[in-house]
Amino acid sequence: MTRAVPHSGGGPLYAQVRELMVAAIVEGRWQPGDALPSENQLAAEYGVSQGTLRKALDALDADNLVVRHQGRGTFVAAHTPQRELFHFFHIAGDDGTKQLPATSRLVTCERRRGTAAECGRLDLPASARIVHLTRVRDLGGRPVILENIVVPARLFPGLVDDDIPNELYQLYEEGFGVTIHRAVEHLRAIAAGRDEARHLGVPLKSPLLEVDRLAETLDGTPAEWRTSRLGSNDHHYVSEID
């Protein structure tokens, strides 16, 4: 297809090209991990100069939608343990070290209809079907994070409890074609209840850090509601302000 950009009413050319490429990724025409065509090919395809196309790619790069490697090509961003650690996992040891939980234990896994709160949070119709996971994640050999995870059943057909690896987002992407792109986290302090005390081995009512995360796909659809409770005095949540 050698055709100029269609709807010319959408602001700067490079932004329009960017949107077209986002759409191509959302539709799955380019899959995570795939190499995109070269800059020259894309420029020809979209009927713009290489410089303009480059600006579109720069924008996608800045949004972590693609990764570029000089001499190799441009690739659709994929969830790897590395990216998970640097981008989506914010718990660090007080000594400054950060590492993904090496092991985790699934506590519950059920398919059921969502509560009002769950459906509301995930922007689903009332009583929509959801999958509900509970697990405990270990850090430094100790159970430290109690996670409560709710996802829309529609997005993850056939998800069952043998499938659950440590890296959920990689599973979402590779197993179900659902790419988590951004998330908003709300943090507060809570007092440990019975469940937290039992699973994390902390006293009742001891202060816990609660991280409430709503994660979205590329097109802004809420895809996961995760509530993590941290029961360790040797770890904290790190937030960098640049």
Partner DNA sequence: GAGTGGTCTAGACCACAGA
Partner DNA sequence: CTGTGGTCTAGACCACTCT
Sign of the Cα torsion 139, 141, 146, 148 reads positive
Between residue 62 and residue 81, which ones bind a second copy under the rule CB under 8 A?
62-64
Of 15 and 191, which CB lies nearer to DNA in the complex structure? 15
Which residue's entry shows tokens 């990689």?
Answer: 170
Binding site partner of 88, from DNA, a second copy, none, Cβ cut-off 5-8 A by kind:
a second copy
Q: State in Å, rounded, how far the first CA of the chain is from the last one.
A: 41
* CB 215 to a second copy: min, Å: 8
* 116 forms part of the interface with a second copy (CB under 8 A): no
Q: Are 230 and 208 in contact (CB under 8 A)?
A: yes
Q: Exposed, middle or buried by CB within 10 Å (0-12, 13-18, 19+), for 135?
A: buried
Binding site partner of 65, from DNA, a second copy, none, Cβ cut-off 5-8 A by kind:
none
* 40 forms part of the interface with DNA (CB under 7 A): yes
CA distance 171 to 240: 27
Q: Are 139 and 162 in contact (CB under 8 A)?
A: no
Of 67 and 171, which CB lies nearer to DNA in the complex structure? 67
Report which DSSP code applies to 35.
Answer: B
Which residue's entry shows tokens 């959302």?
Answer: 26
* Beta-strand relationship, 104-113 and 73-76: unpaired
CA distance 207 to 191: 5
The window from 20-28, 46-54, 126-134, 205-213 that contacts DNA (CB under 7 A) reads: 46-54
* CB 212 to a second copy: min, Å: 8
Applying CB under 7 A, the site for DNA has a residue count of 24
From the list 201, 133, 140, 139, the residue with the least C-alpha distance to 165 is 133
* 49 forms part of the interface with DNA (CB under 7 A): yes
* CB 233 to a second copy: min, Å: 8
Of 115 and 206, which CB lies nearer to a second copy in the complex structure? 206
CA distance 66 to 56: 11
Between residue 199 and residue 228, which ones bind DNA under the rule CB under 7 A?
none
Binding mask 14-33 for DNA (x = CB under 7 A): xx------------------
* CB 184 to a second copy: min, Å: 5
Which residue's entry shows tokens 């057909």?
Answer: 157
Binding site partner of 70, from a second copy, DNA, none, Cβ cut-off 5-8 A by kind:
DNA
Binding site partner of 241, from DNA, a second copy, none, Cβ cut-off 5-8 A by kind:
a second copy
Q: Which residues bind DNA (CB under 7 A)?
A: 12-15, 36, 38-41, 48-52, 54-55, 57, 68-74
